[in-house]
Structure 1
């Protein structure tokens, strides 16, 4: 699933270290990274995506790829696993250039490599990032927006809302593992309605509640832009519903499969 992306004008591999780790709720934690090389990151806001590199268990240090272009993946896969770092996609939650800090928010999924690393990250732990750009690109002429995601997309949607203009009108559906993961104090324009959906042990894959909630919703009138992300069945299912059942043009939908249940990411 390859959405349209606005790439950064320049980018390079950036090596950082953990400054702090903050547990937000049972299902979410924020890791703050920093270091002199952060000056090479250009903040874009919204859902700015980075590749996050972190060591595998037992590695004595972080070995980053040397290429700052599309050849980095081939270089990474040629490394033996004894030296190859883990790499995963994450959205920048917040960046504070004046302090040399960037926050990456993690939805904690069992013993997945990124979740395990986020739980164990301590000040001084090495990590690296590589800027991938942003996919939230609403077209001109839409009267409102539909933003949908399960827990893996919650950080991106909250970042989008924090960077939104005061004039934004939107319906937002956020699915989280449990009621304790709902955040009542999010920052959003007055025209935004946020619908929190907690699974609280209910059966079904992440994203099922959000998909069904949108299907049942009357939605607002007028042309709208949709940004949806999460476990791959959510974005593909919602896009199919909007196009087939509501007549939404495909060009007005950005859909991203962040992960697939039962299948690990390469790298």
Structure 2
């Protein structure tokens, strides 16, 4: 099994370059910034911490000293002053000019990040805690070299990472993917060289629950199957139990992360963890 390399991260000052609506529930925000030339990542599910301003603030408020003690100093700022922090995945990184894309799921009811993304305009300012080394511990998709089947599941919060993974896989890679979105208008055209079968589950159209859809497929999971699961934590846990308990996939070959939990804010989830 491969292991992640612990790597340092730093803060990058960003500004919105443009936005593009991808569907009723998804919007892509493209960010630029002079110091993005130091941003490094080779992970298709690269995790980032994004800091956003409250309404009426021109930029996110963070401690003046963003050294090792930044977390505690940020926590000590008043709730209605300190920058809103949310976890996102990198959709893409480009050079000349240096830009990154982050796709936002527009939840209902909307949280602070969804509201910010829905009204973001060119020039709006943000801050991201991101990697300065391409291989870092915030990358979870790491299939072993002997993998003969890649299985992916993600809801709308994980679609950016899942589609980036699909686009990066080489020709001949066998992939079975389930991507869950609220609305049929959120379905995306995914271009991949992999031998991929992608099923879109549309909740508003009465799609089956994730575990039911995956179980019905009767996947031929074997010793060399690799599974990646991301999205709502309850669904992720149920799917992990299915693959490990029912399909017999080695738990070390199942990468899983709960991006959010039904009925809880990110602050509540972080406190619970």
| Runs of 4+, deviation exceeding 6 Å | none
CA contact (8 A) 1:35 1:100 kept: yes
Report the Cα distance in structure 2 between the residues aligned to 1:161 and 1:8, rounded to whole angstroms: 25
> How far did 1:7 drift?
5.2
Give CA deviations for 1:156-178 in whole Å, capped at 9, x if unaligned: 10011122222321100001101
Report the Cα distance in structure 2 between the residues aligned to 1:56 and 1:173, rounded to whole angstroms: 35
Question: Is the aligned partner of 1:143 residue 2:148?
Answer: yes
CA contact (8 A) 1:7 1:134 kept: no
Report the Cα distance in structure 1 between the residues aligned to 2:159 and 2:251, rounded to whole angstroms: 23
CA contact (8 A) 2:51 2:83 kept: yes
Question: Is the aligned partner of 1:91 residue 2:92?
Answer: no
Match of 1:238 in 2: 239
Unaligned runs of 5+ in 2: 132-137
Match of 2:55 in 1: 57
- Aligned mate of 1:75, from 70, 73, 83: 73
Change over 3 Å in CA distance of 1:8–1:17 after alignment to 2: farther
Match of 1:117 in 2: 116
* Matched pairs, number: 258
CA contact (8 A) 1:46 1:134 kept: yes
Which range moves more in the overlay, 191-200 or 56-65?
56-65
CA contact (8 A) 1:47 1:91 kept: yes
Report the Cα distance in structure 2 between the residues aligned to 1:39 and 1:29, rounded to whole angstroms: 24
Match of 2:248 in 1: 247
Change over 3 Å in CA distance of 1:200–1:105 after alignment to 2: same
Q: Tell me the secondary structure at the aligned position of residue 241 of structure 2.
A: helix
CA contact (8 A) 1:150 1:230 kept: yes
CA contact (8 A) 2:48 2:130 kept: yes
